[in-house]
Amino acid sequence: MSTWLVTGSSRGIGLELCKVLLAKGHQVIGACRNPEGCRDHWELSSDFKSKFKSIKLDVLNDDDIQKLPEAIGDQPLDCLINNAGVLLGEKDRLVNLNYDELLKSFQVNTIAPMKITASLIPSLSKSKNPKVSHITSKMGSITDNTSGGYHAYRMSKAALNMFHKGFSKDFPMICSLVLHPGWVQTSMGGSSAPIAPIDSAEGLIDVIERATIRDSGSFFDFRGERIPW
Ligand SMILES: NC(=O)c1ccc[n+]([C@@H]2O[C@H](COP(=O)([O-])OP(=O)(O)OC[C@H]3O[C@@H](n4cnc5c(N)ncnc54)[C@H](OP(=O)(O)O)[C@@H]3O)[C@@H](O)[C@H]2O)c1
């Protein structure tokens, strides 16, 4: 049994990651913007009393980020999953780009995972086998960008990928991964997406659990296939 923290766990892939981890017997800290208003968190707290802890984290709120180590306490944190993300300005082309949305994409998708990771280094350092995984997207792959558009999303995820690569060099004792979850049926992915949240979550956790320090710095999808940068 190990301790995991998942951001953006109110719904979608983040919620499913919590459910799969709990079913496997892990200790899970589910972070979300509004724990009091999240029915799924009430249910997990009632079904997994000693295993699930719901905490408040708006990834744009520096106070919430500063309080994360307090929520974990003295125990080691074995795995952080930076999952919270936004897809903004999908229809924008360069001539009508909404720069506020571009900025917000960077704040949520790139800068927040950096701040959260930094604040949790002391807790991760207490683990014998610490891991950090960021849920990125294949849309952040420069090689894979054959269709253009989606500038805010693509750029913010590509920048997250670059942060991850640098982090893996700066912190060689922490196994760092960026993971594409597939095209998943969530409010972000839409109802035409071919992959169910549970299949994505099970795959992602399997990839993280199997990863060793030799994999640190890699970009995989939820099936463990390597994705080109
Ligand atoms: N679905 C796909 O096909 C797909 C494909 C590639 C990558 N991804 C990535 O997978 C991750 C999860 O996506 P999803 O499909 O599960 O999306 P989703 O259903 O839209 O859920 C997004 C999650 O992020 C949270 N979030 C957004 N802004 C936040 C903030 N400021 N503070 C805290 N939490 C915040 C949301 O919380 P609230 O409930 O409070 O809004 C929600 O829990 C994202 O990083 C996304 O980019 C998804």
Query: So what CATH class is 3-221?
Result: alpha beta
Q: Which is more confidently placed, 137 or 91?
A: 137
Please, are residues 155 and 136 in contact by the beta-carbon 8 Å criterion? no
Is the CB–ligand 1 distance for residue 113 below 6 Å? no
Query: What's at 54, amino acid-wise?
Result: S
* Nearest alpha-carbon partner for 80 in 59, 105, 49, 103: 59
Q: What angle do CA 105, 11, 154 make, to 5 degrees?
A: 25
Q: Determine the distance separating the centroid of ligand 1 and the alpha carbon of 126, expressed in angstroms.
A: 28
Is the CB–ligand 1 distance for residue 189 below 6 Å? yes
Q: Which of 186, 187, 199, 219 to mutate for ligand 1's pocket (most ligand atoms within 8 Å of CB)?
A: 186
Sorting pLDDT into bands at 50, 70 and 90, what band is 190?
A: very high
What pLDDT is recorded for position 168? 98
Q: Determine the distance separating the centroid of ligand 1 and the alpha carbon of 166, expressed in angstroms.
A: 24
Is pLDDT of 92 > 90?
Answer: no
Q: Which of 7, 13, 134 to mutate for ligand 1's pocket (most ligand atoms within 8 Å of CB)?
A: 13
Nearest residue by C-alpha to atom 45 in ligand 1: 85
Helices 197-210, 12-23: crossing angle, 10 deg rounding: 60
Q: Determine the distance separating the centroid of ligand 1 and the alpha carbon of 2, expressed in angstroms.
A: 24
Nearest residue by C-alpha to atom 43 in ligand 1: 8
Report the pLDDT averaged over residues 12-22. 98
Is pLDDT of 178 > 90?
Answer: yes
What pLDDT is recorded for position 145? 96
Sorting pLDDT into bands at 50, 70 and 90, what band is 171?
A: very high
> Chain-wide mean pLDDT for the chain?
97
Nearest residue by C-alpha to atom 10 in ligand 1: 135
Share of the chain above pLDDT 70, in %: 100
What pLDDT is recorded for position 93? 87
What pLDDT is recorded for position 56? 98
Taken in order 40, 46, 47, 51, the sign of the CA dihedral is positive
Q: Determine the distance separating the centroid of ligand 1 and the alpha carbon of 84, expressed in angstroms.
A: 5
Q: Determine the distance separating the centroid of ligand 1 and the alpha carbon of 109, expressed in angstroms.
A: 9
Give the start-to-end residue ranges of the domains of the chain. Answer: 3-221
Q: Give residue-wise pLDDT tens across range 200-217.
A: 999 999 999 999 999 999
Is the CB–ligand 1 distance for residue 83 below 6 Å? yes
Is the CB–ligand 1 distance for residue 140 below 6 Å? no
Is pLDDT of 172 > 90?
Answer: yes
CA 70 to chain centre: 20
What pLDDT is recorded for position 91? 80
Nearest residue by C-alpha to atom 24 in ligand 1: 84
